[in-house]
Amino acid sequence: MSATTFFTSVNEQLQFVEQRMREQAGDEQHPDLKSALEHLLSAGGKRIRPTLGLLVGNMLGAPEEKLITLGASVELLHTATLVHDDLIDGALLRRGIPTLNARWSPAATVLTGDFLFARAAKLAAETDYLPLMKLFSETLATIVNGELTQMFSARGVIDRDNYYNRIYAKTASLFEMSALAATMVATEDEELRSSMKSFGYEVGMAFQIVDDILDFIGDQSTVGKPIGSDLLNGLVTLPAIYFAEAHQYDDDILSLPDGGWKDTARVQRLVDAIRESPAISQSLEEAQNSISRALNALGIAPACPEKDALEDLAKFIVDRKI
C-alpha cells in the first residue's frame, strides 16, 4: 500500500465533504465573497483533518452523513483560523498561493474569517449532538487562546512547555477533535473515545513537529514560505530547542531571547547550523515517538481495512516530504 492510499478509501466521502463546504458559499449573494470563499476552498490542501475523521468514523460504524458534516465543520474551522492567522502575521502567501490578506482589505479578511467560523459552528450544530457542540466550542477556545499566547509571549523564548502548548493549540487540538468527534457519533464507549482522542492528539503533534522540521530543511517552493521563517518571526520550534540544548553557550542561541531573532544574518547562520546538526533527527525521532503512541492507541480498534488506512495515515505524517 503506497503512502497515500489511505486517501483513496475515503475519496468519495471527501467529495461530499468538499461539496458540503462549497454549499456554505453557494447561497452567497456577494460575488466578491463567493469568489473569495472559492479561492480559499480551492487552495485547500490535502483535507487531512476530514480524512482522519472519516477513517475513524468508518472504522467504528458512525453514520456517514454525520461524518461528512463533521468533516466540513472541522475543515471550515481550520480555514477560518488560517484566514485570521494570515491577517495577523501579515502573510501574503500560503502554500505558495496568495492569501486573502494579500488581495483584500483587513476588514474583508476579518469578516470572511468570521463568516467561516459561523458556518463551521452551524455545521457542528447540524450533527444534532450536544457534546459535539461543546467539543467544538472548546476547540475553538483552545485555538484562539493558543494564538493569543503566541502573540503575547515574548519572542525568541526557548521553552519546551511553551512549544508543546503552542503546537497543541495550533494543530493537535483540531486533529484530536476530528478523531474524537467521529468516535463520539459512533459509540459511547469511553475507552474507545479516549483511545481515538489520543490517536488524533499524537498524530496532530507529530504533524506539527514535522511541519516545524520542514521549515528548516524543506524546499522553499514546496513549503511555500522562506526557509527558517519561524525563527525569523521569533518562534523557537523543536529543532531550534534541541540545538539550543546542545549549544547553550552559543552566542547566536544566547542572543535569541534578547531579540537576536531580529538579526537576519544571525538567524540565517543559526538555520544553517541547525540543518546540519543532529537536532533535525532528534526532532524527527520525537515525531516518530508520537506516531508510535498513536499506533499504540489505535491497537484497541478491531482489525479492518480502515484501521490499516489509519496506520498508513499515521506513518505518512512523518514520511511526507522528508
Q: Is 280:306 a contact under the CB 8 Å cutoff?
A: no
Phi/psi of residue 159, nearest 5 degrees: -155, 115
Q: Which residue's entry shows cell 468527534?
A: 181
Rule CB under 8 A: say whether 65 interacts with a second copy: no
- The 17-36 contact track toward a second copy, x by CB under 8 A, reads ------------xx-xx---
DSSP state string for 12-32: HHHHHHHHHHHHHHHT---HH
Binder of a second copy out of 74, 140, 180, 297 (CB under 8 A): 140
User: Torsions phi, psi of 253, nearest 5?
Assistant: -65, -45
- Cβ nearer to a second copy, comparing 72 with 253: 72
42, with CB counted inside 10 A (0-12, 13-18, 19+), is exposed
Which residue from 128, 245, 258, 276 is in contact with a second copy, where contact means CB under 8 A? Answer: 128
Residues 6 or more apart whose CB falls under 8 angstroms from that of 29 comprise: none
By C-beta, is 165 or 255 nearer to a second copy?
A: 165
Region of 85-93, 211-219, 224-232, 305-313 interacting with a second copy (CB under 8 A): 85-93
Strand partners, 93: 98
- 231 contacts a second copy (rule: CB under 8 A): no
The nearest distance, CB 153 to a second copy, in angstroms, is 8
Q: Which CB sits closer to a second copy, 132 or 274?
A: 132
Our finding on whether 107 is near a second copy (CB under 8 A) is: yes
Helix or strand (DSSP H, E) at 136: helix 130-152
Interface positions with a second copy (CB under 8 A): 29-30, 32-33, 84, 87-89, 106-108, 110-115, 117-119, 121-122, 124-126, 128-130, 133-134, 136-138, 140-141, 143-145, 147-149, 151-152
